[in-house]
Copies of this chain bind each other. A is one copy, B any other.
Amino acid sequence: MKAWPRAVTELVNQLSRLPGIGEKTAGRLALHVLDAPADYAEALSRALLRVKQEVHPCRTCSALTDQELCSVCTDPDRDRGVICVVQSFGDLIAIERTAEFRGVYHVLRGLIRPLDGVGPESIGLDQLERRVAGGEVRELILAMSPSVDGEATAMYIRQRLASDQVLVSRIARGLPLGSEVEYADRATLGRAISARERF
């Protein structure tokens, strides 16, 4: 076989551009599409186009929505005084799944990375600043991942937006529930000890 049929190669190339999909997996997926009834390829193809046409950021918080405002921002039962700041819509979904949070969100476009030229405005912090300036906000919960860029972005936001009116908090970092002390990495365990909570 000198080559796969050109249409298969093209599909494999497009699928390999998805995160976590290597060329081998893309090949398996392409063969599955070929084996499946034609209406599957059509349904997936339609869903791809539709999602780009209908879905866009919420005007207030930048969560993904097919309306002008997302379903959290329009929910009368959510507390507009508490904003949870996340680095992606995927993280928002993860937090919603816990059902622990009854405030509203602000979805950043990633994290500040000065070395790559990604500053506060590029990730939408100016928009967050304007929301806080509105005066209704009592607390900002910073829910960025506990990575180097996540901590740096959190520190930047605290310096910029913490005030007598606005409490800035950070999601707890420590050992995951159900994990073993013996197998925790050194940095996590060290921090879990130095940041121990009263019991």
Contact = CB atoms under 8 A, between A and B. Distances in A.
Interface stretch (A68-76, A115-123, A159-167, A183-191): A68-76
A93 interface: yes
A157 interface: no
A177 interface: no
A133 interface: no
A15 interface: yes
A71 B28 contact: no
Contacts of A42: 48-49, 52
Nearest to A97: B1
Interface stretch (A31-39, A124-132, A139-147): A31-39
Contact of A20 (B25, B63, B66): B25
A155 interface: no
Size category of the A interface is: 35 or more
Count this chain's copies in the assembly.
2
A8 interface: yes
Contacts of A34: 51-52, 55, 64, 89
Nearest to A25: B20
Given A2-B75, A92-B1, A51 B30 contact: yes
A193 interface: no
A25 B18 CA distance: 11
B51 A1 contact: no
Contact of A5 (B21, B30, B48, B65): B65
A41 B33 contact: no
B18 A29 contact: yes
A2 to B, nearest CB: 5
A27 interface: yes
Contacts of A10: 47, 50-51
Contacts of A66: 5-7
A69 B17 CA distance: 30
B50 A93 contact: no
